Chains A and B, each alone.
Chain A
């Protein structure tokens, strides 16, 4: 352990780990950007990164810069091949520059506080944590961004382009309006405009119905004393855990027998019920947190319970209502299983059901991805615009998924 904490060893180790991380990142990033072949060389990266680390530790600022330049040069000369094969000289130069610069930045941040000789545990662990933090940012950003990036870029490409080079995610701007062809076709030939309206309508109605049931219910559970209160709150949680697929089967049978299948009304009958327990659960938690004194003052001044709810509790809980409403909207907008099982008639499809219908071998892949983008963008926009409420909604009641 104490050997590991010696400055040179620690710096070499961290430098090597950094260079491996960065070469893989740069190679993947450059591959996606240019479609060329970039291959990270792990072994060489370990060596050069270790050297750069020691250099940076021994010589301070100048060493950091030197390490970066050294790596970039090695990379250009082909000694350190994070990017070999026919990548093109320009691309190789850009890659080398990015790699060198990134390594310099990373080393400067990570190795600050380490000394060449023996380090105490505190300094060593702080440096390791700085590496892990940087690594974590790169890792999480990559794993989250790549699937969405692929979704977006595939929707702009033609089938031929995709098969020709699955790695190329650059946009060929010369195609102009043609880039958006799959979107155009979805809206003109596949009725996605209608599906979007259906989804929006269903989601909004679901939110309204859910809130109108959940608000009085949650208030009763949170504030009023009655026999069976505790059992009731448990029952809410229990119902909230019943898997949808278990309910979907009898609902499918009942809807088939009564002719409610294939109707938006039938969907509107089911969706709120799947969300009411969640909303009830979230809202009762919030109502419990409101100060009871305000309401009692209202009661003293001669308001009835219902008036207290309407005039005091509801205005106070508007942010919570927004969170719950958004969360319910998200569930309804993203719902797939029930829409898939209950809707067969294309004129009544929701967006998710419409996308499922695009998944056939006759329809090109970019249509599928364009449909996914169309379904994802509104909920993302809503989420980013109202992130505060959304995050609160997510944490408040929902370990559900």
Chain B
């Protein structure tokens, strides 16, 4: 007699469900891989290529055409083409152009690389070096059918030219990475990144914890205060960053005026322009801007701690600080560690804030700002990509830690 039991294996229903799931996910998978996965692969590729910002515009053949000393029927003059390679250092291959002879003109003897067929002039140059220039002059005489209003510039000749882009050819280099890890600058960048990330993360969480404890009581105006405390996070970063810059401006900033009037300092302080103050200031800004987020998370967790635990502790004579240390903190440890890891990663990834506040000057250049600095300020896209690869490596490490230590049950 067959033993009755639950069916094993995947039945048609399960297969249908899986098909539907993939159907629903497919658009997302496609678009995310197009805009996230492909660029990530591209970054690895570019990081080993000697690419400059100017290479993004591939070399092209530039051609100008004109007609000289031919104004009326019977004139003898030249039909002139000036060609050049727009790139000073990279060659063009298969260079040629072809143009129909304008009506009423009769070409004379043709210069070297040119030929006539079917009343069409064709000149072929083959491969030309970077910075190449050439002038082709065809002697012409105007016949009776020549129209003095003719402008040869109006019909563009057909041109052919092929360029190899540095982005796709087979030249590779490790120079980019050498540049990134080069000497003292790298340690500077690493120090700024670590300081900013560690102090910023811990500071934001501690401030958030304090703010959450404040708002864990219900009173009139609590909603307003909670809304107000979220403002730094909700406002556009560019707006608040500029507000800070103006507030701490060394010449006309209120903070300096206040400090001088109060007698705290003699001279104006250049908050965002001096080492090591600038790094401290951008870190303070980071804490200011992101404490609301930690505060929201911690507040949500605090409010889910059952009140009777505190009542019982009160009965047993635990003082408020003891209650905080032995009841609240252990309950909050989970969310605090999740917050720490996630915020750590996000602070590490942060770019806009420092870029807007100091532009990476005065010892505030973190790894992310360095990507921009290398790629756009120094115009070395390859080096920028190499920094991005370093960042991505760090990120993988952090994520591995994240998945290793934080189980999904802990809130996130």
Q: Which residues of A contact B289 (CB under 8 A)?
A: 401
Interface centre among B17, B232, B261 (most CB of A within 10 A): B261
Q: Are B395 and A243 in contact (CB under 8 A)?
A: yes
User: Which chain A residue lies CB-closest to B56?
Assistant: A256
Q: Are B319 and A246 in contact (CB under 8 A)?
A: no
Contact of A269 among B25, B35, B230 (CB under 8 A): B35
In Å, the complex CA distance between A371 and B242 comes to: 10
CB distance from A231 to the nearest CB of B (A): 11
Q: How many residues of B contact A (CB 8 A)?
A: 101
Q: Are B234 and A399 in contact (CB under 8 A)?
A: no
Q: Which residues of B contact A245 (CB under 8 A)?
A: 349, 351, 368, 371-372, 388, 391
Whether A177 sits at the interface, judged by CB under 8 Å, is: no
Q: How many residues of A contact B (CB 8 A)?
A: 105
Q: Are A213 and B28 in contact (CB under 8 A)?
A: yes
Q: Are A395 and B296 in contact (CB under 8 A)?
A: yes
CB distance from B378 to the nearest CB of A (A): 13
Whether B243 sits at the interface, judged by CB under 8 Å, is: yes
Q: Which residues of A contact B111 (CB under 8 A)?
A: none
Q: Which residues of B contact A243 (CB under 8 A)?
A: 348-349, 351, 368, 391, 395
Contact of B27 among A144, A216, A219, A233 (CB under 8 A): A216
Question: When each residue 376-389 of chain B gets 1 if its CB lies under 8 Å from chain A and 0 otherwise, what string results?
Answer: 00000100110010
Contact of B395 among A242, A256, A270 (CB under 8 A): A242
In Å, the complex CA distance between A44 and B162 comes to: 81
Interface SS of chain B: helix
In Å, the complex CA distance between A219 and B21 comes to: 8
Interface centre among A220, A246, A356 (most CB of B within 10 A): A246
Q: Are B351 and A273 in contact (CB under 8 A)?
A: no
Looking at B39-47, B82-90, B94-102, B169-177, the stretch in contact with chain A turns out to be B39-47
Q: Which residues of B contact A234 (CB under 8 A)?
A: 403
Q: Are B20 and A224 in contact (CB under 8 A)?
A: yes
Contact residues of A between 1 and 37, Cβ < 8 Å to B:
27-28, 31-32, 37
Q: Are A137 and B230 in contact (CB under 8 A)?
A: no
CB within 8 Å for A249 and B319 given contacts A167-B254, A336-B236: no
Contact of A253 among B46, B228, B258 (CB under 8 A): B46
Whether B412 sits at the interface, judged by CB under 8 Å, is: yes
Whether A334 sits at the interface, judged by CB under 8 Å, is: yes
CB distance from B126 to the nearest CB of A (A): 26
Question: When each residue 106-143 of chain A gets 1 if its CB lies under 8 Å from chain B and 0 otherwise, what string results?
Answer: 00000000000000011001100100010011001101
Whether B253 sits at the interface, judged by CB under 8 Å, is: yes
In Å, the complex CA distance between A338 and B257 comes to: 36
CB distance from A48 to the nearest CB of B (A): 18
Whether A297 sits at the interface, judged by CB under 8 Å, is: no
Whether A146 sits at the interface, judged by CB under 8 Å, is: yes
CB distance from B355 to the nearest CB of A (A): 8
Q: Are A137 and B27 in contact (CB under 8 A)?
A: no
Q: Which residues of A contact B371 (CB under 8 A)?
A: 245-246, 249
In Å, the complex CA distance between A140 and B291 comes to: 10
Whether A182 sits at the interface, judged by CB under 8 Å, is: no
Q: Which residues of B contact A221 (CB under 8 A)?
A: 21, 25
Q: Are A250 and B211 in contact (CB under 8 A)?
A: no
Question: When each residue 202-217 of chain A gets 1 if its CB lies under 8 Å from chain B and 0 otherwise, what string results?
Answer: 0000000000011011
Contact of A242 among B36, B56, B213, B228 (CB under 8 A): B36
Q: Are B391 and A216 in contact (CB under 8 A)?
A: no
Q: Are A369 and B25 in contact (CB under 8 A)?
A: no
CB distance from B412 to the nearest CB of A (A): 7
Contact residues of A between 139 and 164, Cβ < 8 Å to B:
140-141, 143-148, 150-151, 154, 162-163
In Å, the complex CA distance between A256 and B338 comes to: 39
Contact residues of B between 1 and 52, Cβ < 8 Å to A:
14, 17-18, 20-22, 24-25, 27-28, 31-32, 34-36, 38-40, 42-43, 46
Q: Which residues of B contact A262 (CB under 8 A)?
A: none
Question: When each residue 317-346 of chain A gets 1 if its CB lies under 8 Å from chain B and 0 otherwise, what string results?
Answer: 000000000000010011011000000000
Question: When each residue 224-255 of chain B gets 1 if its CB lies under 8 Å from chain A and 0 otherwise, what string results?
Answer: 01111111111111111011101101011110
Contact of B236 among A166, A217, A273, A379 (CB under 8 A): A379
Looking at A72-80, A96-104, A383-391, the stretch in contact with chain B turns out to be A383-391
Q: Which residues of A contact B381 (CB under 8 A)?
A: 249, 253
Question: When each residue 48-91 of chain B gets 1 if its CB lies under 8 Å from chain A and 0 otherwise, what string results?
Answer: 00000000110000000000000000000000000000000000
Q: Which residues of B contact A280 (CB under 8 A)?
A: 28
Contact of A352 among B43, B228, B238 (CB under 8 A): B238
Q: Are A217 and B388 in contact (CB under 8 A)?
A: no
Q: Which residues of A contact B339 (CB under 8 A)?
A: 399
Q: Which residues of B contact A213 (CB under 8 A)?
A: 27-28, 31
Whether A312 sits at the interface, judged by CB under 8 Å, is: no
CB distance from B321 to the nearest CB of A (A): 5
Interface centre among B235, B247, B288, B403 (most CB of A within 10 A): B235
Contact of B227 among A27, A162, A253, A387 (CB under 8 A): A387
User: Which chain A residue lies CB-closest to B34?
Assistant: A273
CB within 8 Å for A217 and B238 given contacts A243-B391, A254-B39: no
Q: Are B230 and A241 in contact (CB under 8 A)?
A: no
Q: Are B239 and A355 in contact (CB under 8 A)?
A: yes
User: Which chain A residue lies CB-closest to B384?
Assistant: A249
Q: Are A247 and B231 in contact (CB under 8 A)?
A: no
Known: A245-B351, A380-B235. 13 other contacts (CB 8 A): A122-B320, A144-B232, A166-B254, A225-B18, A226-B21, A227-B18, A246-B39, A251-B35, A355-B239, A365-B252, A375-B236, A394-B296, A399-B293
Cβ-closest 9 pairs across A and B: A243-B349, A372-B239, A226-B18, A250-B39, A216-B24, A399-B342, A224-B21, A250-B42, A273-B35
A-B contact pairs, 5 of them (CB 8 A): A144-B232, A232-B25, A239-B36, A241-B349, A395-B300
